[in-house]
Structure 1
Amino acid sequence: MKILIRLLCILGGALTLSFLAAKGVLAPIGQWYEMNNARSFDDVSDAFVLALAVQAIFAVAGGWLGDWVFRKWRHKQPDRP
């Protein structure tokens, strides 16, 4: 049961942080870049690949954060016989 809860915490953290990065940071920056600096489709595709890499980094960081929250939660629970 602990394994399932731990995996859910990791998955929840990864999805949450990845979603926040995509909607809060990457989308506005991408729209600004596309409207102001992109000169060709190659520039837009390079920016898209960079955004995917950044979102993957945020997903890994979110997974680590979810695991950290799980470990803190387990540490605060009293030991059961």
Structure 2
Amino acid sequence: MKILIRLLCILVGALTLSFLAAKGVLASIGRWYEMNKARSFDDVSEAFVAALAVQAIFAVAGAWLADWVFRKWWHKQPDRQ
């Protein structure tokens, strides 16, 4: 049971941080870059690849953070099995 809860926490953490990065930061930077700096479709596609890389980094960071929080929480439980 512990492993399922841990995997669920990791998945939720990764998706949450990845979503927040995409909607909060990358979307606004992407719109600004597309309107002000991009000269061709190649510029936009390169920015898209960079945004995917950043989002993947945020997903890994979210998974690590969720795992760390879960481990801290699990060790504080007095009736853990």
Q: Same fold judged by TM-score > 0.5?
A: yes
Q: Pairwise CA RMSD of aligned residues?
A: 1.0
TM value normalised by structure 2: 0.96
**Identical amino acids, percent of aligned pairs:** 88
Tell me how far 1:79 sits from its aligned partner: 4.2
Query: Structure 1 residues 66 and 36 mapped into 2: Cα distance closer, same or farther (>3 Å)?
Result: same
Matched, 1:7 2:7: yes
Residue in structure 1 matched with residue 45 of structure 2 by the alignment? 45
Q: Distance in 1 between matches of 2:25 and 2:7?
A: 26
Residue in structure 1 matched with residue 73 of structure 2 by the alignment? 73
Query: Unpaired runs of 5+ in structure 1?
Result: none
Residue in structure 2 matched with residue 17 of structure 1 by the alignment? 17
Q: Distance in 1 between matches of 2:21 and 2:75?
A: 29
TM value normalised by structure 1: 0.96
